[in-house]
């Protein structure tokens, strides 16, 4: 995954540079061929996009049957990225949870430190049940989690094999959401962030930069599958820094794909407990006046 660079907006304003006007509103595809294999968590607001027709396989464009030595593992990771059918939970997670997930995985599976895009794990079962939260939930890849945070910025990804490398258009790529624990975006290091990814497949009209930007004065809540990005390592060093062509973040664990997005009615993360349903409104129903 390569992240395109972005320009900085005026101080204090969300760094969202995906082309705000009209962004993310998909054109109905000629045929909705992508089949998630279950009723989508956001089925009532799904929207077909061209990519659902031209890239219908969850494995993306990895050869089937596999050709290269890494192809089977690559297909498995792509299928996990496109998994909309995880069940259970949702388990509540925090920034501490993501740090511990990384730490526990590195202890449990030392080979994880050597995984790259060309050397992905062939057996992803090692990524399950990695860490037990303070709430008593055992979580790992495939767990449904719920996470409240501030959106620091949005990044549009370049072409990826999970989306068939069809184009660099926003409607054909994931939206990489950079999440932080403070509303002070200007003075928060991106290496302290956590990632949520919005898949282009059947992405709702309101799950775009325009609507996320309108809500940037409020914390947001993301519900989705916990996924481990084995192609990249998190920030390291003192001070922490990201390697070249690598996302800057505290952990390679992500909420990916996102199943639901909610906006807090209040403007303090302390007053926006992730398990307090009365504090949240679905992004698809939220009005900026709120």
Domain residues for the domain of 84 are 29-37+47-230+245-282
CATH code of residue 193: 2.40.50.140
> For 169-207, how does the pLDDT look when each residue is reduced to its tens digit (9 = 90+)?
788 899 999 999 999 999 999 999 999 999 999 999 999
Taking residue 73's Cβ as centre, other Cβ atoms within 10 Å add up to: 21
Does the residue 109 lie in any domain? yes
Domain membership flag for residue 237: no
pLDDT tens digits along 53-91: 999 999 999 999 999 999 999 999 999 999 999 999 899
Give the total number of structural domains in the chain: 1
- Determine, yes or no, domain membership for 209: yes
Which residues are within 8 A (CB) of 123 and not within 5 positions of it... i.e. 6 or more apart? none
Task: Assess if residue 18 is contained within a domain.
Answer: no
User: Residue 15 domain-assigned?
Assistant: no
- pTM recorded for the entire structure: 0.89
Taking the C-alpha atoms of residue 4 and residue 158, their distance in angstroms, rounded to an integer, is 7
In a domain, 131, yes or no: yes
């Amino acid at each position: 995954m390569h992240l395109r660079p972005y320009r900085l907006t005026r101080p204090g304003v969300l760094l969202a540079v995906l082309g705000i006007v009209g962004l993310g509103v998909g054109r109905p595809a000629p045929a909705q061929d992508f089949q998630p294999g279950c009723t989508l968590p956001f089925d009532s607001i799904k929207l077909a996009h061209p990519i659902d027709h031209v890239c219908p396989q969850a494995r993306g464009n990895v050869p089937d049957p596999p050709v290269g030595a890494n192809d089977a593992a690559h297909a498995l990771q792509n299928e996990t990225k496109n998994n909309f059918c995880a069940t259970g939970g949702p388990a509540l997670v925090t920034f501490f949870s993501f740090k511990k997930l990384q730490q526990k995985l590195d202890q449990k599976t030392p080979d994880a430190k050597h995984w790259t895009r060309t050397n992905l794990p062939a057996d992803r079962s090692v990524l399950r049940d990695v860490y037990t939260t303070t709430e008593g939930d055992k979580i790992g890849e495939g767990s449904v989690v719920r996470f409240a945070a501030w959106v620091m910025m949005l990044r549009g990804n370049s072409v990826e094999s999970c989306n068939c490398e069809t184009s660099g258009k926003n409607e054909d790529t994931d939206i990489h959401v950079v999440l932080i624990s403070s509303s002070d975006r200007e003075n928060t290091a991106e290496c302290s962030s956590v990632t949520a990814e919005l898949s282009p497949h059947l992405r709702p009209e309101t799950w775009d930069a325009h609507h996320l930007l309108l809500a940037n004065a409020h914390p947001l809540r993301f519900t989705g599958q916990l996924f481990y990005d084995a192609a990249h390592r998190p920030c390291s060093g003192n001070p922490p820094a990201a390697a070249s062509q690598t996302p800057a973040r505290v952990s390679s664990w992500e909420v990916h794909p996102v199943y639901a997005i909610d906006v807090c009615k209040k403007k303090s993360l302390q007053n926006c407990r992730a398990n307090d349903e009365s504090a949240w409104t679905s992004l698809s129903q939220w009005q900026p006046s709120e």
